[in-house]
Amino acid sequence: MAAAVSLRKWRGAPVRLGLGIVAAVLASAACGGCHRTAPTKMSKIAEVVVTTPVTDEVTDYQDFTGRMDALKTVDIRPRVSGYVIEAPFVEGDIVKEGDLLFQIDPRPYQAELNQAKANLKLAEADVVLQTKRTTRALEVVRSGAVSPEDVDQLIAARDKAIASVGAMKAAVERAQLNLDFTHVTAPPLRDDQGRPLVGRISRRMVDPGNLVNADQTVLTTLVSIDPMYAYFDVDERTYLELAEATRRQGHSWFSVLRFPVLMRLANEDEFHTKGYVNFLDNRLNANTGTVRMRGVFANPNDVLKPGLFVRIRLPLGVPYKAILVPDEALLSDQGRKYVYVVKKDKNDKGEEIDKVEYRSVEIGQALQGLRVIKKGVHEGERVIVSGMQRVRPGAVVQAKMQEPPPPPHSPLTQILKEDRAAKPVDPKAAPPAPALKDMPRVGKEPRRENRGRR
C-alpha cells in the first residue's frame, strides 16, 4: 500500500517541476523590466500659416433691390374723336417735340371750322347794321322823331350783336383747336429744372382705320431716356442709421437729398454706375416696414429701360479707417465669430515660442474676399489663415508668414471721398442739381450693351 502511494507522488513530480521553472523565468523577466525606463512620446508641433491684417478706408453699406423708371412717362391720347387715317412714326424710335405721331380724319372738323367762320361773318355784319341804326337814332332823338325807348332798344341790339361777334370768334377758335388736335404730335418733355429731355416712343396701340375716343383711347406711350430713375425700398433700421449719420455731420437727412449710390444690372457682377438719391418718400409703409427712395442715374448709351431689375448699394455714413482680415481666417462658434492669433511667448527654458490665442471678433462688411473687423484684432497682429483645425487656444505652433493681401478697391468709398473733397455741404442752402449727363462711371471701361462684364 505504501509503495503504491509513493509511486503516484513520483509520477507527478516532473509536472510540478516544469511549472516551477516556467514561473521562475516569468518572474525573472518581470524583475528585469522594472529597471528599464519607458520610451518618451515625441509631440509634433503643428504648422500654421499666418498673415497680418490689412488697414484701409472702407464704408458701411447696404444693398437693395429696385426697378428702373423714366423721369417722364406720357400716355399719348387723342383730344378729339375720329378715325385714324395715318400713323407715320417708327415704333420704338426717338421722337422730338412736335413730330407727327397720328393723323385723325380732319374733314369733319374742317367743316365745323368753316361753319364757325361763316357765323362770325354774320355776327360781324349784324354789328355793322345795329351800329348804323343806333347812330341814326341818336341823331334824331332830339327832334322827337324817335322815342327814348326805341333808342334804348337799338343800343341793346347793337351791344347784343357785338357780344355775338365775341361768341362767334370763340367758336372759331374752338373749331380751329379741334382741327389742330387731329394732328397728334409728340408733347414736350422737361425735367424738374426745365431742361429738354429726349423721348423714345413705344409701339402703336391703334392701327389706321380704327375709331378713337377723345381723352380715352391710349394711342402709344412716350418715355424719356436720359437720365433714369431707380426706385428702391429701404428698411426702417437703415433709414434711421442714415438719419443719424447725417445728423452727426451737422445737418439732417431731409435737408441733403444728394447721397451718392452705386447700381449694377442683373447681368453685372460689380457696382459700376454712379448716381444720387434725390427723393425720399414722406411716409413709411407700415405693411412692409420700408420707406421708398429714388436714385437718379445717367443713361448716355440708352441701355437702361423702365422696369429693369437693378441692385442699389447705399452707403451708411462716411468712410473710416478699418482693419480687414481674409474671410478664411474667420471661424464660427454657435453664431459667434472668432479668429486665432499667434503671439510671441517663452517656455519654461526661456526659449521664444509661438502660442495660439483665441479672439472673439465683431465683423463688418465683406470686401473682395476680406472682412472688416470692428473689434478683436489690432493692427500688426498675426492671424492664422490656414491650419486652424489642428490647433487650440494655448497650443504651441510653428508659424509660417504669408504676405498680406492687397487692400480692396471700394468704388463707394472713392466717390464719397471725391464728393466730400469737391465741396462741403451747406445745410442752409438747397443742394444743387447734379449734372447727370456728366456723371462718370467708376469703372474704366464703358458698359457694353450686350455683355455684363467690364
What pLDDT sits at residue 419?
63
304, 80, 47, 37: which is closest to 211 by C-alpha? 80
355, 366, 370, 363: which is closest to 338 by C-alpha? 363
Q: Is the dihedral of CA 253, 257, 261, 267 positive or negative?
A: positive
Which residues neighbour 253 within 8 Å (Cβ) at sequence distance 6 or greater? 242, 243, 246, 247, 280
Instruction: Give all domains of the chain, ordered by start, each with its CATH number.
Output: 47-59+320-401 (2.40.420.20), 61-69+227-317 (2.40.30.170), 72-105+182-224 (2.40.50.100), 107-181 (1.10.287.470)
Say if pTM beats, i.e. exceeds, 0.95. no
Query: What's the per-residue H, E or C state across 277-337?
Result: EEEECCCCECCCCEEEEEEEECCCCCCCCCCCEEEEEEECCCCEEEEEEEHHHCEEECCEE
What pLDDT sits at residue 111?
94
Residue 402, classed as helix, strand or coil, is coil
Give the 3-state secondary structure percentages of the chain, helix then strand then coil, rounded to 5: 30, 30, 40
When the pLDDT of each residue in the chain is averaged and rounded to a whole number, the result is: 79
Phi and psi for 298 in degrees, rounded to 5?
-70, 150
For residues 75 and 363, what is the distance between their CA atoms, to the nearest angstrom? 50
User: How would you label 281-297 residue by residue, b for 16+ Cβ within 10 Å and e otherwise?
Assistant: eeebeeeeebbbbbbbb
181, 393, 416, 168: which is closest to 277 by C-alpha? 416
Q: Where are the alpha helices (DSSP H) in 70-215?
A: 107-140, 148-181
What is the chain's pLDDT, residue by residue, as a tens digit (454 residues)? Answer: 444 444 444 444 444 545 455 455 455 544 444 444 444 444 578 888 888 888 888 888 888 999 999 999 999 999 999 999 999 988 888 998 888 999 999 999 999 999 999 999 999 998 888 888 888 888 777 666 777 787 888 889 888 889 999 999 999 999 999 999 999 999 988 888 888 888 899 999 999 999 999 989 999 999 998 889 999 999 988 888 877 776 666 555 555 556 788 888 888 888 888 888 888 888 888 898 899 999 999 888 888 889 999 999 888 777 778 888 888 888 888 878 888 888 888 777 777 888 888 888 888 878 778 888 888 888 888 888 888 788 888 888 888 888 888 887 777 777 777 665 555 444 444 444 444 444 444 444 444 444 333 3
